[in-house]
Structure 1
Amino acid sequence: MSDFFEGSVPARLGKNVYEVDEGNSHIEVNQEIAKATGAGKVLVKVCPAHVYSEEPDGTISVEFAACLECGTCRAVAAPGLLKWHYPEGSMGVMFREG
């Protein structure tokens, strides 16, 4: 078996390089919709990078620096819940595995 399949997912993801544009998140959650409908819970469950977490008050925290830019959240987000765009040029994730 090739080296490609060796190692745990977190170990393989740890090889990626992230150029973070501090203070300029490419993800924004509409907290009113998240709290009123609970729709943010879906983001927490489906994100493979664990970018989203639910706070005790029902708001959704976003750790945008860990984003894999895979689009899963965009595919499942309720209408109006999420504003998402790619990070500015040369920012974001640079894959080193797969």
Structure 2
Amino acid sequence: MMKVEEKLFQNRYRVDADRPHIRIKNESVCNDGCVSRACVVCCPAGCWSFEEGKIGLITDGCLECGTCRVVCDTHGNVDWNYPRAGFGILFKFG
């Protein structure tokens, strides 16, 4: 049986360095005002991290599921949009 990680590895991602499709509106809100860090726990692609007291976001490999904006409990501190045409996740199957 193939693991989820192995299937995700088969997808490709075209990075839009000029305009990332997710950004944190105010990092201090995440670092100081958020207790649950739900984005870190819930992101299936592992784009979010919390290390040394700071939230981190790397959009490379994002599955564009929108989970981070839904679970954000800091009052919509995640600015999430679909990537521009031709960028983002390229699913191998589907």
TM-score (norm 1): 0.83
Identity %: 35
Distance 1:97 1:14 in 2: 12
Counterpart secondary structure, 2:41:
helix
Contact 1:18 1:92 in 2 (8 A): yes
The one-letter code sitting in structure 2 at the alignment partner of 1:18 is: Y
1:93 maps onto 2:89 in alignment: yes
Q: Does 2:32 match 1:36?
A: yes
**CA RMSD, 1 decimal:** 1.6
Q: Does 1:76 align with 2:77?
A: no
Whichever of the two has the greater Rg, that structure is 1
- The residue aligned with 1:52 is 48
Pick the structure with more helix per residue.
1
SS of aligned partner of 1:50: coil
Query: Once superposed, which parts of structure 1, at least 4 consecutive aligned residues long, lie more than 6 Å away?
Result: none
Where structure 2 has 5 or more consecutive residues not aligned to the other structure, the ranges are: none
- Corresponding residue number in structure 2 for 1:10: 5
Contact between 1:25 and 1:64, CA under 8 Å: does it hold in 2? yes
Structure 1 residue 66 displacement after superposition: 1.3
Which ranges of structure 1 fall in alignment gaps of 5 or more residues? 1-5
Deviations 1:24-70 (A, max 9, x none): 2111112121022125711000001000001213x211110110001
